[in-house]
Amino acid sequence: MRRVRIKICGLSEEAHVVAAAEAGADYVGFVFAESRRRVSPETAERLRRTLAALPAAPLVVGVFVDETPETVNAIAERCGLDLVQLGGDESSDYCARIERPVLKTVRVFPDTTAREVERAIHSLCRAAANPSVRFLLDTGSHAQPGGTGRTFDWRIAREVSTVHPVFVAGGLDPSCVGDLVAVVHPFGVDVSSGVERDGRKDPSLIRAFVHAVRKAEQENDDAEDTAA
């Protein structure tokens, strides 16, 4: 089984950024959209400098929702973002105007089918000017673009992941992410509230989340070796 990428999102404190890096996260996410986890470009710059001083640093993702492309590109350049995550209704033409690799959120509602998700991805893939677009499946909500803390039907993610290398988010935490990895075999997983305690990131939960993913990977590999 390929290595599952891990993204710890909604970070705003130096200690938590360091904890994510030391735990082995592949990506850390800074939220620039409206959210209680929102950070200013000044804070993101400071956190980026903290990461630069570490021996092994994860890639940095900036999260935006229906912001102007000009603003996204300016913040990405200023803060040294490696990727831009788009969590709103951004079109393929919009994605093509982003100067960094894009992680585009596709929202999955209770009545959404795998075929509809695949159609949405195919439509967004028309952003030929920016071929480095990956996709993140997250629980849909009409009240907010993301961060619902609820899971969606993983059978949809499983079906889509056989065709597209997708990240999966929505209601993940250390107690359930191993099951997701075993069932879905995603390209990556994304967590925010699932590694928080009393509204703040908890380094012990970050470590537990990463451990649960790596343990599930190993168990999958062992099962495949036995079957072979």
Q: Which residues are catalytic?
A: 9, 138
Q: How crowded is residue 47: how many other Cβ atoms within 10 Å of its Cβ?
A: 22
Which phi-psi region, left, alpha or beta, contains residue 148 (left: φ > 0; alpha: ψ -120 to 50)? alpha
Q: Burial-class residue 36 by CB neighbours within 10 Å (0-12, 13-18, 19+).
A: exposed
| Distances from the Cα of 173 to the Cα of 6, 31, 124, 168, 207, angstroms | 12, 19, 29, 12, 11
CB 34 within 8 A of CB 13: no
33 near 87, Cβ under 8 Å?
A: yes
Cite the beta strand spans of the chain per DSSP E. Answer: 5-8, 27-31, 59-64, 83-86, 102-108, 133-139, 166-168, 188-191, 196-197, 200-201
- Phi and psi of 153, rounded to 5°? -70, 110
